[in-house]
Structure 1
């Protein structure tokens, strides 16, 4: 059995939300990779004491307030590290690289763009997941799924049931009737604190949206230099898409299909194990999409999903309010691999 190395790791977050990361220097394992500060817990040392010592040695600061966040295992080929993660909210001194290492204060989305140690990538995903609407339930609203007169009432009812996130899928310019409904949707969403993402902002420039949602094909059309307006998310089906989305600064990704779906019977489902492996290795919070029902939410969360995305499960149900509530309740009463 691989040995388990206990490590204390500090997440230093400034008031404006930026997080401290440092670059592993030459002469250490994994040089050129970024990580969160911390180090090995010595025999007989508590994780909290190790955190204080390590941050003093690495950054020249004295920790005054730190709270446990998570305990997470990550398996490398020769060993497993057990990360005792702490939120560090107060310290004395100005953080600097006492060992000659470069340090940076970065927004969570920018953390995902850097090459981090594999064990640190789920930490970045966790930080980004905290920025998702709560509960992290997204409704993909496709106008082609319902008669135009039923779309706005269904979405309004879902919002009344607790939905706080909508991705509006526009494949063509909406006609006058739909345009009027979408503008009203924007007003209702603003009143209720619901985030609306658009996959084609140019199709409806009048609608104030919270961000852009790209398909995998649309992401592939962007060069590595980026320039995608933020915030944005992506629908992905494989690891290459997830990696590129992270490099370009995405805030989240849909990963599908987790389960078999009636709408795409030829699409091979990922299954729990493959989804979990991608969630473990990605710097992005992954929302499970495909065959998601309220009864399957707990399974998706155990596989490492940071949220779930649905289409017909809410939009085309007889009672969108009750359906949205059921999904949200299933999420709030379940737990993930980290508890």
Structure 2
């Protein structure tokens, strides 16, 4: 196949896969959106300068969170907003991972388990941060959900970015009592207890869908077993500032689990992709059948109306006054309104100049083109 992209793969293989597999509606709708992205099915837009000179016509983007070909602007906008919030100084990066034995429950209760994972991590961080033995204050926290490992297998986990310090109840800046801030073992135990308690409560209230070939008592026994085992809470080396990890997270907030640049070959029966291994830190290669890759890709489609990230503590939208108190204590200016990156500035950052080819004035007018109209694309690429 010539079109070695996620869209090309879906256009070739999704209809056949759908006939042979029961899929949730949101995955079907997402695949349909991705297949129509930047095609005549979504219509298009023409771009004009302030004097009315036509400078190009392009098909519209689908704007789906899991689309790898139209999320660049949204990712950079998210990164810019986060970087504007960040407090000066060191930030910790922790990763909370669910045991493999709980994956089947997730597959049958995606929205519930996603929310429970966020809640368990958030409440664990809040509980320990307010403990005077560790900090006794409210830090700034960002939580970001990933459901995949680098080889695209199902691997739900949350990345946590937390400021090294927080604002105390009387408005003073507090620094952690420990160099590592919070103890990993204690974090793991509280996180584990909160997540398993949430599963048990849902079972008792008959609010959990029991997976096929499973029984309620079997799930309770599994929870009891996992409650005696260690879970993975990875504490990475602290960053001297938060920008690095914000940039890392921005790549995954939008655009889905697989980027087009990772697909090396789409054959009639197999696909080949590359990824950087966490274990070896080297580029490795994976060969999958169309069905195997489709199953992995669809399992990571973002759930509608469920956020992939949460801003907590001083970084929460309702804590702007406290955030500015903390910024003042750290010698930073107050944060008011965060300017949103516009598409013209984004294109300029990519090394292209957003100006009229005829008169040199700014391109600032977009006019819609009807759906289904076959348009000729000009050279260049503007992302809206």
- Which of the pair is proportionally richer in strand? 1
* Greater RCO, CA 8 A, separation 6+: 2
Relative to the length of structure 1, the TM-score reads 0.25
Relative to the length of structure 2, the TM-score reads 0.22
Which has more radius of gyration? 2
